[in-house]
């Protein structure tokens, strides 16, 4: 994880991006959400045109929390806290540079060195009713880099559109990058994230903020075109390492080992044990990150504090299921 963060920031610094620190997990000026859910969240004022003190090209690693999938935690890939690697163009470069740099970072042996034969992408399919065309420009750029037509999926708003963060504001089509996680070394011909959603793991999303959604719900072209990208640190580590699940990466595995030690059980013992260990490690990691944030939040019965309490309560329950009867949360928190 350290090498991936470092390589990402170095790569974009070499493309004249300024490295900025992660913002707090607790949003500054947005009462509509409890947590920072994406790297773009703290940057909304700058995407709307305010000048950023560090310039028009930024890169960072942002701490994020998404709790809407809390009940999915326990499978091989869902987590509630994650790190998002991002690069930003605030009215500077657009599609061509973004896509070319994404491809270079993913495939160059100097950076991630992923096999191009195991990568596929999706682009926005277009929406006639809103006068938004299919994103042929993005598709052509991918093809010019060597991505074959059968590895490009054209998908609707549900998959390939981002924003606005609130009711109105900057938004646009996105193009997403996927890594093959199915059987066999290489994906079969014709396979892409549109034809086989389950075996392609999304690792990176490049959003082209070229529209403003106005009060009437109309999409008008934006004067300042922005780029917002988000690469999931945890999922990309899974792609790079070949691990079968996200809990084996180095920011999770020491937590699992500690739970094995405390319970005397083994991670691979049974589906139930694996699931409980995943839930405990995820939830206590998230609770620790919220309590350890610059804007420290303690467990309580309202707002962010309620989420902390809920995370701890669920972790304790799964601890009991594993036969841990003493207090153990602090020991996991120390590992985090």
In terms of CB distance, is 203 or 277 closer to ligand SER?
203
Write down the least CB distance from residue 42 to ligand SER, Å: 11
In terms of CB distance, is 104 or 202 closer to ligand SER?
202
Structure tokens at 88: 């930003």
In terms of CB distance, is 159 or 274 closer to ligand SER?
159
Write down the least CB distance from residue 276 to ligand SER, Å: 29
In terms of CB distance, is 79 or 332 closer to ligand SER?
79
Write down the least CB distance from residue 207 to ligand SER, Å: 5
Q: In the bound complex, which residue of the shown chain has the CB atom lying closest to ligand SER?
A: 230
Write down the least CB distance from residue 230 to ligand SER, Å: 2
In terms of CB distance, is 39 or 193 closer to ligand SER?
39
Applying CB under 6 A, which residues contact ligand SER? Answer: 38-40, 86, 162, 205, 207, 228-230
Write down the least CB distance from residue 161 to ligand SER, Å: 11
Write down the least CB distance from residue 83 to ligand SER, Å: 12
């Amino acid at each position: 994880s350290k090498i991936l963060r470092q390589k990402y920031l170095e790569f974009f610094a070499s493309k004249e991006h300024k490295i900025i620190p992660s913002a707090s997990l607790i949003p500054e000026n947005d009462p509509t959400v409890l947590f920072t859910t994406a790297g773009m969240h703290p940057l909304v004022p700058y995407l709307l045109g305010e000048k950023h003190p560090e310039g028009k090209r930024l890169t960072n690693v942002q701490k994020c929390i998404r709790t809407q999938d809390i009940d999915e935690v326990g499978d091989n890939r869902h987590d509630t806290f994650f790190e998002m690697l991002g690069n930003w163009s605030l009215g500077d470069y657009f599609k061509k540079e973004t896509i070319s740099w994404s491809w270079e970072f993913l495939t160059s042996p100097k950076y991630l060195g992923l096999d191009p034969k195991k990568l596929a992408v999706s682009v926005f399919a277009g929406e006639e009713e809103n006068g938004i065309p299919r994103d042929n420009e993005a598709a052509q750029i991918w093809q010019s880099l060597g991505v074959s037509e059968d590895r490009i999926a054209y998908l609707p708003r549900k998959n390939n559109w981002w924003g606005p963060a609130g009711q109105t504001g900057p938004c646009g089509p996105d193009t997403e990058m996927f890594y093959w996680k199915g059987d066999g070394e290489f994906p079969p011909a014709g396979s892409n994230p549109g034809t086989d959603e389950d075996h392609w793991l999304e690792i990176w999303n490049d959003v082209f903020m070229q529209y403003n959604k106005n009060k009437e719900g109309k999409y008008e072209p934006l004067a300042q075109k922005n780029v917002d990208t988000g690469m999931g640190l945890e999922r990309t580590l899974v792609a790079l390492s070949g691990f079968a699940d996200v809990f084996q990466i180095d920011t999770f595995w020491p937590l699992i080992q500690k739970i094995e030690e405390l319970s005397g059980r083994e991670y691979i013992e049974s589906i139930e044990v694996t699931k409980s260990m995943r839930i405990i490690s995820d939830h206590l990691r998230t609770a620790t990150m919220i309590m350890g944030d610059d804007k420290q939040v303690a467990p309580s019965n309202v707002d962010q504090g309620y989420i902390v309490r809920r995370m701890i309560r669920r972790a304790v329950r799964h601890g009991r299921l594993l036969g841990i009867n003493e207090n153990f949360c602090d020991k996991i928190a120390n590992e985090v």
